[in-house]
Amino acid sequence: MDAFSSSPSSGSPSQQFSADDFKDQLKTQLAQAYAEEFLETLRGKCFEKCITKPGSSLSGGESSCISRCVERYIEATGIISKSLFSAPH
Amino acid sequence: MDPSQYQSNELAQFIAQEKERAMVNEMVGKLTNVCWDKCITGTPGSKFSSSESSCLSNCARRYMDMSVIIMKRFQNMQ
C-alpha cells in the first residue's frame, strides 16, 4: 500500500480511491509537513535562546526556559498572523 | 458538464485553495522566524512585554511595506 492509497492493492472497482479520499490525504499530509517544519523551527530557536552552555544534563532553568520559549513562539506566530490579516493602521 | 469534468474542476479548485493556504502558512512562518530574532532579544519570559509584542506586529507590517518598495524598484529597473 503506497502513501496515497486507502484500499488494499487488489483494487477492485468498489474500493476505488475517491476524490474525498484524495482531499483527506492531501490535507493530512500538508498538516503533517507544516507541523514538522514548525517543530524544527521551535527546536532551533529554543536551543539558541535557552541552552547557551550545554552541560552534562538539562538544568531546571534550562527546562523552564524551553517551556516558556515554546509558549512565546506560538504566541508570536499568532501576533504575526493577526497583524498581517487585520486592518492596517 | 459531465460528472468527470465537474470532479476535476472541483479538485483543481481544492488544490488551489490548499496551495494558497500553504503559501500563507509559509509567509507567517518565515516572518515569525525573522521577527522573533529581531524582537525577542533576551531569554523568553512568561509573557511578552508590551514593547516585544508591538515590535513583533510592527516587524511583520514593515516587512510587507518593504516588500512593496522592493517590487516597485525592481519593476522600474526592468
Which residues of chain A neighbour B10 with C-beta distances below 8 Å? 19
A80–B32 C-beta distance less than 8 A: yes
- What residues of B are in contact with residue A37 (Cβ under 8 Å)? 29
A22 to chain B: closest CA residue: B11
Within chain A, which residues score under 50 in pLDDT? 1
Judge contact between B55 and B39, C-beta under 8 A: yes
pLDDT at A8: 52
Residue B31 burial class via C-beta count within 10 angstroms: exposed 0-12, middle 13-18, buried 19 and up:
buried
B56 closest CA partner among B72, B77, B74, B40 = B40
B78 band by pLDDT with thresholds 50, 70 and 90:
confident
CB-CB contact of B26 with A71 (8 Å): no
In this prediction, residue A83 carries a pLDDT of 96
Mean pLDDT, residues B14-41: 97
Residues 6+ apart with CB under 8 A from A52: none
Between these two residues, A87 and B26, which has the higher pLDDT value? B26
Mean pLDDT score of chain B = 94
What sign for the dihedral angle of Cα A61, A66, A69, A70? negative
H or E stretch including A30?
Answer: helix A19-50
The alpha-carbon gap from B42 to the nearest alpha carbon of chain A, in Å, equals 8
Question: Grid coordinates representing A53?
Answer: 552552555
Residues of chain A with C-beta less than 8 angstroms from the C-beta of B48? 72, 75-76, 79
Work out how many CB contacts closer than 8 A connect A with B: 81
User: Could you tell me which residues come within 8 angstroms of residue A68 by beta carbon, excluding any fewer than 6 positions away?
Assistant: B44, B45, B46
pTM: 0.84
Three cell numbers written together for B23: 503559501
What's the rounded mean pLDDT across residues B35-60?
97
CA distance A69 to A76: 10
Average pLDDT over residues B6-25: 92
Predicted pLDDT at A54: 97
pLDDT above 70 covers what percent of chain B?
Answer: 100
CA distance to partner chain B, nearest, from residue A81 (Å): 6
Task: Report the alpha-carbon distance of residue A26 to residue A55 in Å, rounded.
Answer: 42
